[in-house]
Amino acid sequence: MLTEQRRRSILRLLADQNTVRLEEICVRFGVSAATARRDAEAIARASLAHRTRGGLVALDAAMTEPVYSRKAAVAAGTKARLGLRVAMLLPEEGSIFIDAGSTCLEVARAVLDRPQLRVYTNSVSLLQIALEGRSNVYSIGGEVRTVSLALVGAFALSWLERLRFDATVVGASGLDGEHGAATTELAEAAIKAEALKRARLRILVAHSEKWSRPAALRFAPWSAFHHFVTDRAPPRNDTAALAAAGVEVHLLSTP
C-alpha cells in the first residue's frame, strides 16, 4: 500500500472510531513503529487530527467528517429543497458533473428525469439511483472512499482530465467568508477542484450548518463559483465577501 493510501485509510479509521493508536496502525497496515509515527506526525501536521503520545485523536466534531449515513439524515427536508433550487440553474440538456455528498444527491434526484442530460459523477449513492430517471449517468471511476461514498484517486482524476461540463455542482464540508469552500480529505478536494476547472457554470450547494465550520482543505475560493445555493443568508460581512467575488447567492424561500 502506498503511503498516501495508507494515510487516507488511517483518516477513515479516525472518522469511524475517533482514536487510532500507533500499535493499531502497525498491525492493520503491516508497517514498522517508525513508519506509524511518521504517518501520525504527517496527519497531525496537516491539521487533520491531534497527535497524542500513543497515536492520533480526531479533531472535534466540527473538524471530523461524519459517515455518509449520519450526514444524509441531517436536515433531509431542507436538502431536498436545496436540490430542487439548484436544478432550476441547470440545463435541460448537455453535460453536467454532480459531486458526491448527501445534498448533491438531492440535486441529482431533481434532474435525473431530463432525457437529454448527461450526468457525470463520483457519487456511489447517485449511481445507485441512476435507473430511477431518464438521464444518461456516467461514473468517473476511482477508489471508493467509504466515509463519504465518493470515488476518488488518480483513476478518477485521469478521467476528469478528458471531460468538459456545461455545469458542475459541488458540496462542501466547511464554508468561510475569507477563504471559500473546504473539505476534510485531500483526494476529495482534488476531485472537486478538477471538476470545477472543467465547467462553464460552477455551482456550490451547502446547508447553512456548514457556515464558519472549519475544514482542513480549501478546494476553491469564492471567485471559483458563479452561484451559491443555501438555506439561510451568511453573516453580513461574509455576504459582502461573496458579492465582491461575484457570486450570486440563492436562498430558499420560506416553505
CATH number at residue 179: 3.40.50.1360
Q: Is the pLDDT of residue 17 over 80?
A: no
Q: Is residue 16 part of a domain?
A: yes
Q: Is residue 181 part of a domain?
A: yes
| Statement to judge: residues 36 and 156 lie in one domain | no
Q: How far, rounded to the nearest angstrom, does the alpha carbon of residue 156 sit from its chain's CA centroid? A: 14
| Statement to judge: residues 93 and 201 lie in one domain | yes
Domain tally, the chain: 2
In contact, 118 and 100? CB cutoff 8 Å: no
Is residue 177 very low, low, confident or very high in pLDDT (cuts 50, 70, 90)? Answer: confident
| Statement to judge: residues 177 and 228 lie in one domain | yes
3-state secondary structure of 246: coil
Q: Is residue 185 part of a domain?
A: yes
C-alpha atoms less than 13 angstroms from C-alpha of 178 in its C-beta half-sphere: 2
Domain of residue 14, residue span: 3-57
C-alpha cell at 84: 430542487
3-state secondary structure of 197: helix
The predicted pLDDT at position 64 comes to: 46
| Statement to judge: residues 157 and 208 lie in one domain | yes
Q: Torsions phi, psi of 128, nearest 5? A: -70, -25
Q: How many residues does the chain have?
A: 255
Q: Is the pLDDT of residue 73 over 70?
A: no
Q: Is residue 219 part of a domain?
A: yes
| Statement to judge: residues 116 and 145 lie in one domain | yes
In one-letter notation, the amino acid at residue 15 is A
Q: Is the pLDDT of residue 74 over 60?
A: no
| Statement to judge: residues 150 and 131 lie in one domain | yes
Q: Is residue 63 part of a domain?
A: no
pLDDT in tens, 103-149: 999 999 999 999 999 999 999 999 999 998 999 999 999 999 888 89
Q: Is the dihedral of CA 245, 87, 187, 185 positive or negative?
A: positive
The predicted pLDDT at position 63 comes to: 46
| Statement to judge: residues 53 and 73 lie in one domain | no
Q: Is the pLDDT of residue 200 over 70?
A: yes
Q: Among 26-40, 54-68, 170-184, which stretch is predicted with the lowest mean pLDDT?
A: 54-68
Q: Is the pLDDT of residue 223 over 80?
A: yes
Q: Is residue 62 part of a domain?
A: no
| Statement to judge: residues 80 and 19 lie in one domain | no
| Statement to judge: residues 89 and 46 lie in one domain | no
In contact, 83 and 106? CB cutoff 8 Å: yes
Q: Is residue 24 part of a domain?
A: yes
| Statement to judge: residues 40 and 100 lie in one domain | no
The alpha carbon torsion through 252, 202, 214, 77 (nearest 10 deg) reads 30
pTM of the full structure: 0.73
| Statement to judge: residues 106 and 12 lie in one domain | no
3-state secondary structure of 200: strand
| Statement to judge: residues 129 and 209 lie in one domain | yes
